[in-house]
A = this chain, B = another copy of it.
């Protein structure tokens, strides 16, 4: 009669309800409760309602650890990004989360601080939870990353740039194309002495790839780069002002600057305003990312506008697709748009 379970000595008040509790209260088998909770087919309405009543009474919540152990599949998605405090990743994450949430999936967050070794660590830790998929920033990873993901046999979607070929699928823009487009724009606007400013020692590498493409194109156009300045610290408006000052002091004849990000570009814009340099007459400024504030400044900031939220959305959609069809191999180029603004 009574189930073989007499060690009910421990304080029952605090114990979480299980399938068995619901089964006993409603007088059905555990498996029937399981079926009801999962909305599995083949359950009579009568049984269903009895079970739901009992579950409600006990405040039963399925223990996903147990379910996942059995099925070895979870609704967790490992999302690994280099940073989160500022910059572009929060907006991408927002897009990712909005799609995942609608599909009943949960992002588990990992941050690498732009450190490839940390990416491996974080991924290893997350894979121990058997996530149903992995989302990574960039397409440049340690071999161990590829190996570990292959071994688990789960989908992976990489987002940001699509200049390298991804492990499976990727969503992003071509940084090379963007760099070329900016160089072409500078040429078209008759700038002759271009400069470049970056930050954070060009972490991640894709910003360096972008710069190299920019410089290469300038050479082709016959207006080679005059000078560049790469800050060692993270990008910010203040750093933008400082690097601009440094660069212009060293190479006063620079007539346009391409910035690796809008934070620095805005700092430069304000710096020029304070020091009486006319933008774009004395110096042209163009940034990267197209952050919102730049479109409201008295001199609207020129910038390469990247579709960050949408990038997250498409990334998550691709994850969903790959979940239902593991053979999915897509590369989605979302393209970019150049906001000309008034600073170039």
**A296 is an interface residue with CB less than 8 A from chain B:** yes
**A74 is an interface residue with CB less than 8 A from chain B:** yes
The quantity of this chain's copies bound in the complex is 2
Q: How many chain A residues have a CB neighbour from B under 8 Å? A: 64
Chain B residue with the shortest CB-CB distance to A273: B298
A59 partner residues in chain B, CB cutoff 8 A? 151
Chain B residue with the shortest CB-CB distance to A262: B293
The reply to whether B237 and A128 contact each other, CB–CB distance below 8 Å, is no
**A85 is an interface residue with CB less than 8 A from chain B:** yes
- Spell out A's residues near B (CB within 8 Å): 14, 16, 59, 61-66, 68-69, 72, 74, 76, 79, 83-86, 89-91, 93-94, 97-98, 101, 104, 106-111, 122, 124-130, 151-153, 236-238, 240-241, 263, 266-267, 270-271, 273-274, 292-293, 295-298, 309
The reply to whether B130 and A63 contact each other, CB–CB distance below 8 Å, is yes
The reply to whether B97 and A90 contact each other, CB–CB distance below 8 Å, is no
Q: How far is the CB of A12 from chain B (nearest CB, A)?
A: 13
Q: A14-B153, A90-B90, A293-B293 are in contact. Are A61 and B124 (CB under 8 A)?
A: yes
The reply to whether A267 and B238 contact each other, CB–CB distance below 8 Å, is no
Q: A128-B61, A238-B295, A296-B270 are in contact. Are A107 and B109 (CB under 8 A)?
A: yes
Chain B residue with the shortest CB-CB distance to A91: B85
Q: Quick one: which of A62, A68, A109, A152 has the most chain B CB within 10 A?
A: A109
Closest 8 CB pairs of A and B: A85-B94, A90-B90, A237-B296, A64-B128, A65-B69, A237-B293, A107-B109, A273-B298
The reply to whether B65 and A74 contact each other, CB–CB distance below 8 Å, is yes
A124 partner residues in chain B, CB cutoff 8 A? 61
The reply to whether A152 and B241 contact each other, CB–CB distance below 8 Å, is no
The reply to whether B84 and A238 contact each other, CB–CB distance below 8 Å, is no
A69 partner residues in chain B, CB cutoff 8 A? 63, 65-66, 69
Q: How far is the CB of A184 from chain B (nearest CB, A)?
A: 29
The reply to whether B296 and A241 contact each other, CB–CB distance below 8 Å, is yes
Chain B residue with the shortest CB-CB distance to A267: B296
The reply to whether A263 and B65 contact each other, CB–CB distance below 8 Å, is no
The reply to whether B83 and A94 contact each other, CB–CB distance below 8 Å, is yes
CA distance A129 to B101 in the complex (A): 16
A94 partner residues in chain B, CB cutoff 8 A? 83-85, 111
- Can you identify 12 A-B contacts, CB atoms within 8 angstroms? A61-B124, A62-B128, A65-B129, A66-B69, A85-B91, A86-B91, A90-B90, A97-B109, A107-B108, A108-B108, A238-B292, A271-B296
The reply to whether A127 and B61 contact each other, CB–CB distance below 8 Å, is yes
Q: How far is the CB of A304 from chain B (nearest CB, A)?
A: 19
CA distance A298 to B101 in the complex (A): 42
The reply to whether B65 and A130 contact each other, CB–CB distance below 8 Å, is yes
Chain B residue with the shortest CB-CB distance to A62: B128
Q: How far is the CB of A142 from chain B (nearest CB, A)?
A: 15
Q: A68-B65, A74-B65, A90-B90 are in contact. Are A236 and B97 (CB under 8 A)?
A: no
Q: How far is the CB of A231 from chain B (nearest CB, A)?
A: 14
A109 partner residues in chain B, CB cutoff 8 A? 79, 93, 97, 106-109
